[in-house]
Structure 1
Amino acid sequence: MALFDPVAATAAYLAQLPPEAHAKATAYTQGGHWLLLWGFLVSVLVSFLIVRSGVLVGLRRSLERRKPRPVLVSFAVGVAYLLIDWLLSLPWSAYSNWWREKSYGLTSQAFLGWLGEGVMSIVISAIFTGLFLVALYALIRKAPRTWWLWSGGLTAGFVVISLLIAPIYIEPLFNKYTPAPAGPVRDTVVAMAEANGVPSDKIFVYDGSKQSNAYTANVSGLFGSARVAMSDTMFKQGADIAEVRAVVGHEMGHYAHQHALWIAGVMSVLAIVAFFLIDRLFAPVATLMGADTVRGVADPAGLPVLSVILAVLGLLGTPLTNSLIRLAETDADNYSLVHFNEPDGLSKALVKTIEYRAATPGRLEEVLFYDHPAVGSRIRTAMDWKAAHPPSPPTAPTP
């Protein structure tokens, strides 16, 4: 009996796609790396234009004409900045988030549908971000020397709140979520959940194909609001029970190990570092941008300055944040393999994600740009698991 070869098995899975499909995926993925730079430059340019226009300073002066109104100014100026920034960035967003996806066959959504969802998204974002800015600028006013230290707790609080309410109030605005229909898939997923301490009453299928043709599932929410959701693209691309077990097992790993809370905690620490640097860099960056009428870091009219600093830090910190997410994704893969033992199901599902995530990047490229482990290495891990956990031989019948 031939020994199972994980290297050969991995190569066989990757060979299920022809070379031209791999080349297309590589072009899409590496083009996406350049989008990080171009998107950064667009955001800096837009922030510079908003500063030079003086529109935020004018709004702040108008609101404070008779008396100081710090809460109103923080909210109104913050919302105005977000809406103006979104409008000026719209051509770039349309190219990078819709036209490019359309040209690679990764979405069938019409432009007006994409635009309508973008409008709804920016309105929701403006409200929540406006509230966050009210709290942030209150911290700056109350503790001008140490506000950055408290910003981590503020950031963590808002992240947790958003995770709690998103599955209930926000995600249903963009997609229709229905309980997984009765049948083998639902029975399988319910049994998996019950066996591993995951709520079995929140397993959904949603119309993800409305926005994207990507083969995907996700876990969202926290505690009682958490749910596992499978995009209908999984089933349109022929997912079988082994794939469902592997993919949903991966998502259950995120839930069971509380990756959302873990990442929120790390992000709150990074927020402290980022806001500390903003506190120190705000004045020189404001001078470079010509923000002469901005009254320092406590002035909401200086949001474009703050955003430029955050954009620089975000670009430089991309390898770090990607690495943090990759750790969670690796752990979720391991959870799926350990608890549900579907290495081939996981591998079959991963092959279907190659079209939007090149399978075999160089190690440096993966570290710098990938927020998931490379598909090739994930399949190899699954095949190594399969080699180390061969199926038990059938038991001989008792005479």
Structure 2
Amino acid sequence: MPAAAMAQSFDVEQATRAYLGLLHGPARVKSDNYFEGQNWLILWSAVVGVLIYWAMLASGLSAWMRRWAEARTKRKALATMLYALGFTLTSTALMLPWTIYTGFIREAQYDLMSQAFGLWIIDQAKALAIALVVTPLVLAAIFAVIRRAPRFWWIWGAGLAWVFLMITTAALPVLIAPLFFKMSELPEGPLRERIVAMARTHNIPAKHIYVADLSRQTKRISANVSGLGPTVQITLADNLLTRTSPDEVAAVMGHEMGHYVLGHVWRNSAFFAVLFLAMFFVVAKATPFLIARNPRWRVAGVSDVAATPALLLIATLVITLATPLQSSIVRTAEAEADAFGLDTARQPDAFAMIAIRLSEYRKLEPGPIEEFLLFDHPSGETRIRRAMQWKKDHILNAEMVKPRILTS
């Protein structure tokens, strides 16, 4: 039979439905409910944040913390940093019940949580410790800009936010991740050799390939090529190694390497720089109006550090409204990385199986509008269909397979 006829004999739709059928019944309902609930949490988290910020302003707590800070030093920057410490501790405490529900209780309800509450709290304490270092620096920089450039501070503020984002991106794999995960070298063997070969083909640093003990926190699978410049490193979650086959690991790593090779960190950062600019512009224009309408807050103006909750209130609303745009930006990059991964790993069936595994907590078959507005990754159905189309187009004599039922 001619090759063209062989290609035509592979039925993309039938192959796609075979994989989609692996997640069905209660498991499919559970996945859909979890994901749809997560979408609602975006809205409710914004509501909770707005209420907390409003309460801090209306109660006079924010103004009191500013007076407390200024009573201890005459230096504006130091007073701002002292306020930031109080603000971080207070807002974290007020948000804690919601954080416990969304980050622990709900995850446990859907059988995604692996750690006990005590260990989860320890991780939250680590995150708080990082915030107590970073938030004072960020607020001191932002309010210094507001005082020095009151008319166009939003431009400089957006620039500062972008700089802090890039610093965080660079620091994540080498300074932040090790605080939450035990990192160990991937052992020598065929799998490591396979990943190294893929990395070297695309000039990705692969001297070290780390395994993070994500299993102590969650049942999710993941991997990444993270960092910037000298901090770039390949990291695999131990769940990926224990719950998937070597071909599936290769499929995932091909995708993650695609982000690096295609420069998605830099391209996405450019998109988010524009988003930051728009957000800071709205915040700069709306916050003075909000403060003027509420004199009981005892906030002198935008340059008053006590205005922090008001600034964050407006920013929260803007970020929430911009969720579909943010999702589209990220989803576009993810789709490109999918295509790169298929070309690199050449494992369409393994990639389809990974899509099913990820659909344990991502809705597998959303409607097109739902996927466009709310998905920051292509849906499982989209990914599987693209993988099967790639298989038909690139694999000579592509054969239909009967995927096995997941047991992990």
Using the size of structure 1 for normalisation, the TM-score is 0.94
Secondary structure of 1:205's partner? strand
Distance in 1 of aligned mates of 2:331 and 2:184: 29
Q: Over aligned residues, Cα RMSD in angstroms?
A: 1.7
- The within-5 A match list for 1:235-250 is 235-237=241-243, 239-250=244-255
Residues 202, 226 of structure 1: 8 Å contact kept: no
Secondary structure of 1:170's partner? helix
User: Which amino acid is 1:95 matched to?
Assistant: Y
Alignment of 1:186 onto 2:192: yes
Aligned residues: 392
Residues 48, 289 of structure 1: 8 Å contact kept: no
Q: Alpha-carbon deviation of 1:290?
A: 5.7
1:162 matched residue in structure 2:
168
2:401 matched residue in structure 1:
none
Residues 56, 80 of structure 1: 8 Å contact kept: no
- The within-5 A match list for 1:51-90 is 51-65=57-71, 68-90=74-96
Q: Report which stretch shifted further, 265-274 or 21-30.
A: 265-274
Which of 343, 350, 354 aligns to 1:345? It is 350
Distance in 2 of aligned mates of 1:326 and 1:390: 26
Runs of 5+ consecutive residues of structure 1 not aligned to the other structure: 394-399
Which of 20, 36, 41 aligns to 1:14? It is 20
2:3 matched residue in structure 1:
none
Residues 72, 79 of structure 2: 8 Å contact kept: no
2:237 matched residue in structure 1:
231
2:339 matched residue in structure 1:
334
Residues 139, 147 of structure 1: 8 Å contact kept: yes
2:307 matched residue in structure 1:
302
Q: 1:185 to 1:289 in 2, by over 3 A?
A: farther
Residues 203, 227 of structure 1: 8 Å contact kept: yes
2:363 matched residue in structure 1:
358
Secondary structure of 1:296's partner? coil
Distance in 1 of aligned mates of 2:73 and 2:16: 68
Q: Alpha-carbon deviation of 1:66?
A: 7.9
User: Which amino acid is 2:332 matched to?
Assistant: L
Residues 206, 234 of structure 2: 8 Å contact kept: no
Residues 73, 79 of structure 2: 8 Å contact kept: no
Q: Alpha-carbon deviation of 1:98?
A: 0.7
Alignment of 1:135 onto 2:141: yes
Secondary structure of 1:352's partner? helix
Deviations 1:110-156 (A, max 9, x none): 11111111111022023112211111111111111111112232122
Deviations 1:194-246 (A, max 9, x none): 11111111321110111110122122211121112111111221x22211111
Distance in 2 of aligned mates of 1:89 and 1:315: 17
1:396 matched residue in structure 2:
none
User: Which amino acid is 1:300 matched to?
Assistant: V
Distance in 2 of aligned mates of 1:74 and 1:368: 38
Which of 268, 271, 291 aligns to 1:266? It is 271
Alignment of 1:106 onto 2:112: yes
Using the size of structure 2 for normalisation, the TM-score is 0.92
1:122 matched residue in structure 2:
128
User: Which amino acid is 2:44 matched to?
Assistant: W
Which of 46, 49, 55 aligns to 1:49? It is 55
Q: Alpha-carbon deviation of 1:17?
A: 2.1
Which of 189, 205, 208 aligns to 1:202? It is 208
Distance in 2 of aligned mates of 1:67 and 1:201: 49
Residues 69, 83 of structure 2: 8 Å contact kept: no
2:178 matched residue in structure 1:
172
- The within-5 A match list for 1:372-387 is 372-387=377-392
Q: Report which stretch shifted further, 52-61 or 306-315.
A: 52-61
Residues 160, 261 of structure 1: 8 Å contact kept: no
Residues 51, 290 of structure 1: 8 Å contact kept: no
Which of 324, 336, 355 aligns to 1:319? It is 324
Distance in 2 of aligned mates of 1:263 and 1:278: 22
Give the percent of matched residue pairs that are identical in Structure 1 and Structure 2. Answer: 37
Q: 1:181 to 1:54 in 2, by over 3 A?
A: same
Distance in 2 of aligned mates of 1:83 and 1:62: 15
Distance in 2 of aligned mates of 1:289 and 1:119: 34
Distance in 1 of aligned mates of 2:381 and 2:395: 21
